[in-house]
Amino acid sequence: MKPTPINKQLIDKAISDFGIADFAKATIREVVAIAQMAEKQSGVEFIKMEMGVPGLQPSAYGVKAQVEALQNGIARLYPNINGIPELKEEASRFIKAFIGVDVAPEGCVPTCGSMQGTYASFLTCYQTDPKKNTILFIDPGFPVQKQQCTVMGAPYETFDVYDFRGEKLGPKLESYLSKGNIAAIIYSNPNNPSWICLQEEELKTIGELATKYDVIVLEDLAYFAMDFRKNLSTPFEPPYQPTVARYTDNYVLLISGSKAFSYAGERISCSCISNSLYHRSYPALEERYRNGQFGPVFIHRVLYALSSGTSHSAQYALAAMFKAASDGVYDFRSEISEYGRRAGKLKEIFLRHGFHIVYDTDMGEPLADGFYFTIGYKQMTGSQLSRELMYYGVSAIALDTTGSNQQGLRICTSFIRDNQYDLLDERMKVFAENN
């Protein structure tokens, strides 16, 4: 048995001090904190793969526009709760350019990151019909979205899509929707953490069932156009980003500036409500707010109560990035394709040392290399593997926290530095010899 880079007792004590009985249930922030503590105490560099934080430089178009807005004194003014006209117009145009559907500017609403957009959507959907009080997650997914449901007191149900791709998806979805208690369905596409991409037929199934059972679909596009198997970078020309919006009017698209434009620190995104849903009236909303329309309630009641608007200068940044992309002068996809390069190199190292890819194919096709991928090792559980890798100075979260039924870990490529590939190779060689 070769010695591990990090003393096992140091890691075990840190986990114990945090009161974590099952490391598979450790949150992202807890894993980060333990890794930071172990790195500081041991002096050994950690290879950090747990946080989904962009690791690239922010878009120069956004920075320039935001700085100019600040220099022009915009910080003295409260932003309009609806969003600045420039952003609403450019968000609508961006959707047309890269998704190929029409969403009116009035329905494109800036939020403090898609996290706030999701929370506001959950709250609004949850209140549309007293009989529909449950959120359905097509998992695996972003763990904090379930925490949002817990905070607001909304029940949720979940299933792992791993065994329900293609024609199996419809019957599985209908088994939940037919109960009549589902207010909204949420999923990410590309998926966090598996990086599978729902296909057009699957999105059609989701859309048609959402219409049949009058359920709102929340499509989280945090990793917009990051299926690097397809050329999704030419504005106003197919292929477009796949979307449920082609198959139902009951949708909200969550488009974030964080990953596609590496603008995470300014907490800026748009929640884009379909034209039909925006103006739809719900008796329950009318009774509660004296205005029953979904869009105005989302903006003037829910968002206003949450934050009274979104960073004024950051709205100018996102508007500029949307405009440059739609004008064809800013190929944001070429910049973020770096994540695909990193994923390819990391996968090769893990596979060479006996690991396997958990979510390994996408409807029979190889997965794209991108922001995330998933790994497992022999018969180890996610809890065992995540804890064991900490001894080797590698931090990642177990798939259990994402709603997955599979055993393994989520690997994020964003913080990997070029000097760490050889380091990971050396450590995984020792890991394989010890296990």
The CATH number assigned to the domain holding 132 equals 3.40.640.10
pLDDT of residue 252: 98
Residue range 195-251, pLDDT digits in tens:
999 999 999 999 999 999 999 999 999 999 999 999 898 999 999 999 999 999 999
Q: Is 141 helix (H, G, I), strand (E, B) or coil?
A: coil
pLDDT of residue 60: 96
Cβ count near 175 (within 10 Å): 10
pLDDT tier, 20 (very low <50, low <70, confident <90, very high otherwise): confident
Name the helix (H) or strand (E) containing 138: strand 134-139
343/366 Cα distance (integer angstroms): 13
Please tell me whether residues 355 and 248 are part of one structural domain: no
- Paired strand residues for 375: 357, 409
pLDDT above 90 for 308: no
pLDDT tier, 6 (very low <50, low <70, confident <90, very high otherwise): very high
Please tell me whether residues 283 and 429 are part of one structural domain: no
- Domain boundary, last residue among 263, 298, 327: 327
336/70 Cα distance (integer angstroms): 27
Q: Would you give the distance in Å from CA 415 to the centre of its chain?
A: 17
Answer yes or no: is 303 within a domain.
Answer: yes
Q: In what order do the strands lie in the sheet with 355-357?
A: 355-357, 372-377, 409-412, 397-398
pLDDT of residue 271: 98
Please name the residue that has the structure tokens 């593997």. 385
Please tell me whether residues 134 and 229 are part of one structural domain: yes
pLDDT above 90 for 19: no
Domain count, the chain: 2
pLDDT of residue 17: 87
Please tell me whether residues 254 and 369 are part of one structural domain: no
The structure tokens listed for 384 are 């065992």
Residue 293 and residue 281 in contact, taking contact as beta carbons nearer than 8 Å: yes
pLDDT tier, 365 (very low <50, low <70, confident <90, very high otherwise): confident
The CA R_g of the chain, rounded to the nearest whole Å, is: 22
426/47 Cα distance (integer angstroms): 12
Answer yes or no: is 51 within a domain.
Answer: no
60/58 Cα distance (integer angstroms): 6
Answer yes or no: is 50 within a domain.
Answer: no
Greater pLDDT, 14 or 155: 155
Half-sphere exposure of 80 (CA within 13 A, CB side): 10
Judged by average pLDDT, the poorest of 22-26, 72-76, 324-328, 351-355 is: 22-26
pLDDT of residue 52: 80
Please tell me whether residues 424 and 306 are part of one structural domain: no
pLDDT of residue 320: 98
Please tell me whether residues 258 and 233 are part of one structural domain: yes
The CATH number assigned to the domain holding 407 equals 3.90.1150.100
* Angle subtended at Cα 294 by Cα 292 and Cα 300, rounded to the nearest 5 degrees: 85
Answer yes or no: is 277 within a domain.
Answer: yes
β 216-221/251-256 pair status? parallel
Q: Read off the pLDDT of each residue in 155-173 and give the average, rounded to a whole number.
A: 96
Please tell me whether residues 368 and 232 are part of one structural domain: no
Please tell me whether residues 114 and 167 are part of one structural domain: yes
Please tell me whether residues 225 and 268 are part of one structural domain: yes
Answer yes or no: is 52 within a domain.
Answer: no
Phi first, then psi, for residue 410 (nearest 5°) are: -90, 130
Please tell me whether residues 39 and 88 are part of one structural domain: no
Domain that holds residue 39: 8-44+337-434
Please tell me whether residues 122 and 253 are part of one structural domain: yes
pLDDT above 90 for 415: no
pLDDT tier, 1 (very low <50, low <70, confident <90, very high otherwise): confident
75/113 Cα distance (integer angstroms): 19
CA distances from 77 to 74, 80, 113, 304, 307 (A): 6, 9, 20, 16, 15
Give percent of the chain above pLDDT 90.
87
Please tell me whether residues 150 and 281 are part of one structural domain: yes
